[in-house]
Amino acid sequence: MSSALTKASVKVAQSKFSILPRFSFALPLLGFGLLALAVVFHLQSETSLSFLQQWHVWLTLAPQDFAEFEYYYSAMPRMLMAILVGATLGFVGSLLQQLLQNTLVSPMTLGASSGAWLGLVAASVFFPTLAVLYREWWAMAGATVAVGLSLLVARRSGFRGLPIVLSGMAISLLFGALASAFVLLNDQYVRNLFIWGAGDLAQGDWNDVIWLLPRVSPLLLLVILAHRPLMLMRLGEQGAQSRGLNLIPVLITLLLMALWLTASAIATVGLIGFIGLLTPQIARRFYARSARIEMVASAVIGASLLLITDLIAIKATQSFGQLVPSGAAAALIGAPALILLSLKRGADNERVAPPPSSHDQVGHGNERRWFKTTPKKGAVVVAFIFIIVLCLALFVFPKTILVNNSVNMQANIHWGWYWPEGYLWQLRWPRVLTALMAGLGLAVAGTVLQRLIRNPLASPDILGLSAGATLSIVIFILFFGTKWLVFSPMIAFMGSFLVLGLLLLLGKRQAFSPGVMVLIGIALTALLDAILQFTLARGTDEVFSILLWMSGSTYSVTAIQACLLTVGVLVLSAITLVWHRALTLIAISDDVARSRGINVLRARGWLLTLIAGICALITAVIGPVSFIGLLSPHLAYLLGAKRVLPQILLASVAGGSLLVFSDWVGRVALYPVQLSAGVIASLIGGSYFVYLLARRRL
């Protein structure tokens, strides 16, 4: 595999060598010219001063009246901050992508953003005073933990292909779910974080610039020192080692430096995604000649990009009369750009294609298992667990009993088995049924998807199918308020099928390469995050209904919805089963499937459509739920269901039980406060996922 990679990268390098020399002067000029232009435009955005007056402020650095003060203390540091942060993010993106030889890697995709966000939110809830004072340290701690975890999880599958990005996405989802839970339970405490969360560059003095400057200065050192190892990395890990590169220490040092730079940047201005991911992709098209040039070019382009983004954010803020943070603007530009880029990535795909690590090759450590699993035994275990969970969810409950003593009323909470009487039963069964069906549907979707694109880390929530539905509903709420939420199923379907269309369109062109699908997933998920943060930063309470819905709650499900969901999920899942032979063959390889007379493209298209339908349905009813689709197939597999049909069946029951259990825990854990099933599912699923990955069971 690595030799193929080496060949590919050498080929890429050669092809670029052949064109580049002719442009050797024009290209740097172009880059810096763009930067200069962006700087000039950015400086004009918030001032009434003429060029001459601005020039005067720059020369004397001694502002006279308020307009000049404003220019000196707001426009100038803001411009410099945009350059610093943009350059840092671009540089770090390039460093990471070259270091790990993976064009999908960036601080955002490794989980740094959600880690920083969780760190800060948790600190604000638990240590409100300390959180305000040491904001950057909390952010840094969170980001370090998240990225460290993603790297740890991915370490044995290597950092090259999709696994690291998928593990980064999973960690992001896990941390994001945790942060949402904190925000929902303590909304008033975390309010002053929302602007930071949305990422805004506004400055009121030079302090932040002065704070950040020394912290990102190692960047210059890295330009010199990282060059050689990165050039060697282009030859592949073995190639680099054979030329005397001590891989592990270099890797760790450079990674830590990258993390430090990122954390410093986002601690000052907040969460700004995409720059780190996009910039190196642009830079590589023109400036890939050497590692150093690519890094410097990424820094310059990153700075220009952030300046332009921030300019747009300023203009939008001025025309809407309310804050549009730079982070939101970055996501709005970045997500489509990423998708556009992925359209053109065809030739690049060899570089990101994952090692075909399907289940059968990886080989699980069966010998250590305490009991030998067969599909039958697995089914018995799952059925047993399912029944227990169902009983728990329906009957075991804390009950409030009023005691009327002489002074006042007192409520005692009694735990135990209770037959839900009358109205309680009506309140309870739709929730349990919904959780069951949603878990079942997601498990089916996840199993099919993992077989379909031959990647054990694929799941509907990571590939953007759920994100499409969620995004469309969130945007809808943003524009029309919560009044029209009755139409949410239709909107969810629209969003889900738009994504599906995109996937099919790109898929036809590139034979459903996992890289493209993951890119779309990343783009949509990040866009969703940014829009959510933007909504939070608006400071209205409407956002909490969005947040609640986004946490995947069965709370507001009605009996009718539960029944509709049941019918829909069962029908769609049953249709999926019809395709199981095609699925088995495609899971081996496209060629095998084709030689057995299967129209691979059509089968893929149909199966994807079915999955998108299931996801849209579930998302519309209870909102996005992560990890069920990812984990259930693995549970089924670990329990011995290795063929498609038993795996789907076993996974669906396991997924259903998992979500019913999560829902029950959410209802009783903090009684009378309720947590969303999705949050608990993320917690359980996410931790188990990390455990599995770390133990190399996936």
Partner 1 sequence: MGVIPLKNRYLIHVDNTLALTVSPLTTFIVFLIYMLISPAALALTVKDSLGSQELPAPATRVIALNWGATEEMLELGVTPLGVAEIEGYKTWVAQPVIPETVMDVGTRAEPNIERIAGLKPDLIVIGSMQKNMIARLKPIAPVLYFDNYRADHDNFSAIKESFQQLAVALGKADIAMARLDAQNEKLKQLKQRLNVYFNGQLPKVTVVRFSDAHHVRAYGLNSMPLAALKELGIEPAIAIKNSTWGQVQKPIRDLAYMKGVLLYLRPLPKEAELFEQPLFRMMPFVAEGRIAPVRSTWTYGGALSISYLAEHFVEALMTLPATIASNNHALNSHTSAGIK
- Summarize as ranges the residues that interact with partner 1 (CB under 8 A): 46, 48, 65-67, 69-70, 73-74, 129, 132, 184-185, 188, 191-192, 194-196, 200, 202-205, 207, 317, 321-323, 397, 399-402, 408-411, 423-424, 426-428, 481, 485, 537-542, 544-545, 548, 553, 555-556, 558, 671-674
Torsion sign (Cα): 97, 100, 102, 107: negative
Nearer to partner 1, 209 or 465 (CB): 209
- 103 with 97: CB under 8 angstroms? yes
Shortest Å distance, C-beta 610 to partner 1: 30
Torsion sign (Cα): 208, 209, 211, 212: positive
Shortest Å distance, C-beta 51 to partner 1: 17
Alpha-carbon gap, residue 584 to 382, rounded angstroms: 23
Query: Alpha-carbon dihedral of residues 66, 70, 76, 81, nearest 10 degrees?
Result: 150
What does each C-alpha distance from 335 to 129, 273, 523, 528 come to in angstroms? Answer: 36, 10, 5, 10
- The phi, psi pair for 176, rounded to 5°, reads -65, -40
- 359 with 637: CB under 8 angstroms? yes
Nearer to partner 1, 4 or 132 (CB): 132
Nearer to partner 1, 501 or 539 (CB): 539
Shortest Å distance, C-beta 301 to partner 1: 27
Alpha-carbon gap, residue 651 to 174, rounded angstroms: 21
Shortest Å distance, C-beta 74 to partner 1: 6
Shortest Å distance, C-beta 432 to partner 1: 13
Shortest Å distance, C-beta 605 to partner 1: 37
Nearer to partner 1, 132 or 578 (CB): 132
Nearer to partner 1, 220 or 560 (CB): 560
| Two tokens, residue 344 | 């053109």
How far out from the chain centre does Cα 286 lie? 28
Nearer to partner 1, 561 or 682 (CB): 561
Nearer to partner 1, 328 or 690 (CB): 328
Nearer to partner 1, 200 or 237 (CB): 200
Shortest Å distance, C-beta 414 to partner 1: 11
Alpha-carbon gap, residue 473 to 484, rounded angstroms: 10
Helix (H) or strand (E) segment spanning residue 473:
helix 465-480
CA angle 688, 386, 642 (to 5 degrees): 65
- The phi, psi pair for 598, rounded to 5°, reads -105, 135
Q: Determine the 3-state secondary structure of 316 from DSSP.
A: helix
From 548, 515, 544, 531, select the one nearest 468 (Cα to Cα).
Answer: 531
Residue type, 378: G
Shortest Å distance, C-beta 1 to partner 1: 49
Shortest Å distance, C-beta 123 to partner 1: 13
Nearer to partner 1, 349 or 545 (CB): 545
Helix (H) or strand (E) segment spanning residue 233:
helix 227-233
Query: How, if at all, do strands 409-417 and 396-404 pair?
Result: antiparallel
Nearer to partner 1, 1 or 401 (CB): 401
Nearer to partner 1, 367 or 541 (CB): 541
Alpha-carbon gap, residue 445 to 617, rounded angstroms: 12
Shortest Å distance, C-beta 681 to partner 1: 16
Helix (H) or strand (E) segment spanning residue 22:
none
Shortest Å distance, C-beta 260 to partner 1: 24
Tell me whether the omega of the peptide bond preceding residue 336 falls within 30 degrees of 0, making it cis.
no
Query: Alpha-carbon dihedral of residues 195, 173, 551, 454, nearest 10 degrees?
Result: 140
